[in-house]
A = this chain, B = another copy of it.
Amino acid sequence: MALRVVGALRDDIVTMALRPGDVISESDIAGRYGVSRQPVREAFIRLAQQGLLLIRPKRATVVKKISPEGVRQSRFIRESIEVEIIRRLAGHPSADAGTVLGELIAEQEAASNANDSRRFHTLDELFHRTLARLIGVEYAWQLIDDHKMQLDRVRYLTLGSSSSKLAISEHRTIVAAVTAGDVAGAEVAMRAHLARAEVLLSQTIAAHPDYFE
């Protein structure tokens, strides 16, 4: 089906198997997956709406280059929402929030010690998603997830730079502030945690300038 093509292409894009600037035609992808052009076309439309492809009518369809400005604003959106989440969470600290988050951090430490960066990435995402779930706005996280694909492409380029120990430490600081009901402290900790991605971006741009616009 068409959805299968969507998933396959999205994976290829975020894992940089399809690199920014690559041109892909409907016929090309259709032949590669053994389907007709129509499902591929619909997949293109979906991915274009998600900002991964750029359809230039009657010309070609290219994998969208990463827009530094877009990444910056995606970070702004994420920081706005995550800060609001952490403030509400610290303002009304639930009983089991600390335990649930503590268990997640423990698993993250295990993954970090095992050098399983893939699993650590999953747990890190789950940590932030759990924060949203604890105040009942998990749907809001789905929104972040869509825009996080842009950030994930950058993150994939900098996979080896495992600063997982630092991230775990920051997670602990955040949880501590939440359980203590320290709204201002939780906000500061969350902003600091998210701010680390800023330097990553400029480093990545310098390392792969042709992937950006």
Contact = CB atoms under 8 A, between A and B. Distances in A.
A96 interface: no
A137 interface: yes
Interface string A66-96: 0001100100110111011100000000000
A76 B140 contact: yes
Interface size class of A (residues with CB under 8 A): 20 to 34
A24 interface: no
- A-side interface mostly: helix
A45 B73 CA distance: 26
A212 interface: no
Contacts of A140: 73, 76-77, 80
Interface in A23-72: 41-42, 45-46, 49, 69-70
Interface of A: 41-42, 45-46, 49, 69-70, 73, 76-77, 79-81, 83-85, 137, 139-140, 143, 147
